[in-house]
Copies of this chain bind each other. A is one copy, B any other.
């Protein structure tokens, strides 16, 4: 990783001058703040906080599906850990939400070639009940093809939607090729389908299905909705290509009930000026239920918390840093909505989240580009040695900080390399071994840099005693 990073740094220094402006009109050099640079380099070389958090959370709690006992255990773990690390005002902000849980699931080709396939229910899937359902497969290569089909071609059948998502550094395939998951179940239901299975929204070739959320909208009745692994979807396509009717027996048992509880875990590094706008960073504490939520999103809470801790270790910032481990992001961003509502009166200097794994950050963008070009220049200059280019076309994103940004908070986006993210995302394979420690340190260094630049200045103070 060191050589890769070095190469990226070299590229980052050279590329913007050539691609975005004439080489004869170089901008005035920005003097990077050496104190922030020192914090950055310390995090890059020495951080262990992030690994300690993600290793601990994934080992001692494991999966933590929203609104379940596991997520409650994770909140307890978080409060204990954040307190031990010396954060102030550590508390849980609870909220209510429905609970969806997975039961037994299996898929089997009944004819023409009997064999089992590997499947997982999508979030909020309807339940087949333990006996399962049996139906003929109706194949579509996209949601649009399903939409265009006459209802008679779908009614009473098990719809199967394919797609061809490829890996991309910016994860850009997820929007377009995620449509079979997000829209497919509703469209299939409204056409009278018995159930739906999709090719996993993923870029790997392993027998691990990718779950993920979907909602039945437009008054659609919930039907069983599952994802086949990529190899199983390809197998089903080969079977279909033989030209005979294909019959599947599908069991997807699940349960949805109202009255569940979740919550956001909030911790702060208090600023010297309690009235100054707050720096809001975080990731989400909940995970899907099949892996241990290492890259999604144990890494995100670990990275942002580690960065805040590096600032805390250096002294006291002018502005308060608020770290949030959001609850219940996966089933629909409940934590982000709850936080924005609970803190509608707060003022923010920035809002940003880490929720795209732990591979290196390759570019960034921020609303400061327009509102405060000097600060944007500082960020650009201080992030460049980490191999991070500025993205003047960036737009705000993030499920958890989204509602806070919509309410007016300035934003920053530190974009992780997503090339291999969708190999593991939402699968049993999202486990600790997928995290590259050196790359995660680069993330911590970038977030430390961002917090350092926006801190309003860090004043030395009697060193807090770190209890961990």
Decide yes or no whether A255 CB sits under 8 A from chain B: no
The residue in chain B whose Cβ has the minimal distance to the Cβ of A433 is B205
Decide yes or no whether A193 CB sits under 8 A from chain B: no
The residue that A433 contacts in the complex, of B61, B113, B231, with Cβ under 8 A, is B231
Assuming the contacts A115-B63, A432-B234, asked whether A208 and B205 have C-beta atoms less than 8 A apart, the reply is: no
Q: Tell me which residues across on chain B come within 8 A of A112, comparing CB atoms.
A: 60
Measured in the bound complex, the distance between the Cα atoms of B231 and A234 in whole Å is: 26
Decide yes or no whether A235 CB sits under 8 A from chain B: yes
Assuming the contacts A206-B206, A207-B208, A208-B208, asked whether A238 and B59 have C-beta atoms less than 8 A apart, the reply is: yes
9 pairs of residues in contact across A and B, judged by CB atoms under 8 Å: A58-B235, A59-B239, A60-B239, A60-B242, A62-B235, A63-B115, A63-B116, A205-B434, A207-B208
The residue that A113 contacts in the complex, of B60, B115, B429, with Cβ under 8 A, is B60
Which residues of A are in contact with B by a Cβ distance under 8 Å? 55, 58-63, 70, 112-116, 118, 205-208, 230-231, 234-235, 238-239, 242, 291-292, 427-429, 431-434
How far, in Å, is A78 (CB) from chain B's closest CB?
A: 15
The residue that A207 contacts in the complex, of B60, B113, B114, B431, with Cβ under 8 A, is B431
Measured in the bound complex, the distance between the Cα atoms of B205 and A208 in whole Å is: 12
Q: Tell me which residues across on chain B come within 8 A of A429, comparing CB atoms.
A: 206-207, 231
Assuming the contacts A206-B208, A428-B118, asked whether A433 and B62 have C-beta atoms less than 8 A apart, the reply is: no
Measured in the bound complex, the distance between the Cα atoms of B432 and A431 in whole Å is: 25
Measured in the bound complex, the distance between the Cα atoms of B428 and A429 in whole Å is: 13
How far, in Å, is A323 (CB) from chain B's closest CB?
A: 24
Measured in the bound complex, the distance between the Cα atoms of B239 and A23 in whole Å is: 56
Measured in the bound complex, the distance between the Cα atoms of B234 and A55 in whole Å is: 11
Contact A61 B292 (CB under 8 A): no
Copies of this chain held together in the complex: 2
Q: Tell me which residues across on chain B come within 8 A of A63, comparing CB atoms.
A: 115-116
Q: Tell me which residues across on chain B come within 8 A of A291, comparing CB atoms.
A: 207
Contact A59 B433 (CB under 8 A): no
Contact B60 A292 (CB under 8 A): no
- Other A-B contacts than A115-B292, A207-B427, 7 sampled, CB-CB below 8 A, are A58-B235, A62-B114, A206-B429, A207-B208, A207-B431, A231-B432, A234-B432
The 5 A-B residue pairs whose C-beta atoms are closest, nearest first, are A62-B115, A207-B428, A231-B431, A59-B238, A205-B433
Measured in the bound complex, the distance between the Cα atoms of B230 and A198 in whole Å is: 28
Measured in the bound complex, the distance between the Cα atoms of B427 and A61 in whole Å is: 27
Assuming the contacts A62-B113, A115-B63, A242-B60, asked whether A431 and B55 have C-beta atoms less than 8 A apart, the reply is: no
Contact A238 B428 (CB under 8 A): no
Q: Tell me which residues across on chain B come within 8 A of A59, comparing CB atoms.
A: 113, 235, 238-239, 242
Centre residue among A115, A235, A434 by max chain B CB count within 10 A: A115
Measured in the bound complex, the distance between the Cα atoms of B376 and A346 in whole Å is: 82
Measured in the bound complex, the distance between the Cα atoms of B434 and A205 in whole Å is: 8
Measured in the bound complex, the distance between the Cα atoms of B238 and A64 in whole Å is: 18
How far, in Å, is A295 (CB) from chain B's closest CB?
A: 12
The residue in chain B whose Cβ has the minimal distance to the Cβ of A63 is B115
Contact B61 A113 (CB under 8 A): yes
Measured in the bound complex, the distance between the Cα atoms of B230 and A434 in whole Å is: 12
How far, in Å, is A314 (CB) from chain B's closest CB?
A: 31
Measured in the bound complex, the distance between the Cα atoms of B118 and A47 in whole Å is: 32
Q: Tell me which residues across on chain B come within 8 A of A62, comparing CB atoms.
A: 113-116, 235
How far, in Å, is A48 (CB) from chain B's closest CB?
A: 16
How far, in Å, is A228 (CB) from chain B's closest CB?
A: 12
Q: Tell me which residues across on chain B come within 8 A of A231, comparing CB atoms.
A: 429, 431-433
The residue in chain B whose Cβ has the minimal distance to the Cβ of A236 is B59
Q: Tell me which residues across on chain B come within 8 A of A434, comparing CB atoms.
A: 205
Q: Tell me which residues across on chain B come within 8 A of A206, comparing CB atoms.
A: 206, 208, 429
Q: Tell me which residues across on chain B come within 8 A of A208, comparing CB atoms.
A: 206-208
Assuming the contacts A206-B206, A207-B428, A428-B207, asked whether A433 and B60 have C-beta atoms less than 8 A apart, the reply is: no
Q: Tell me which residues across on chain B come within 8 A of A114, comparing CB atoms.
A: 62, 70
Measured in the bound complex, the distance between the Cα atoms of B204 and A208 in whole Å is: 14
Centre residue among A58, A238, A434 by max chain B CB count within 10 A: A238
Contact B235 A292 (CB under 8 A): yes
The residue in chain B whose Cβ has the minimal distance to the Cβ of A434 is B205
Measured in the bound complex, the distance between the Cα atoms of B70 and A296 in whole Å is: 39
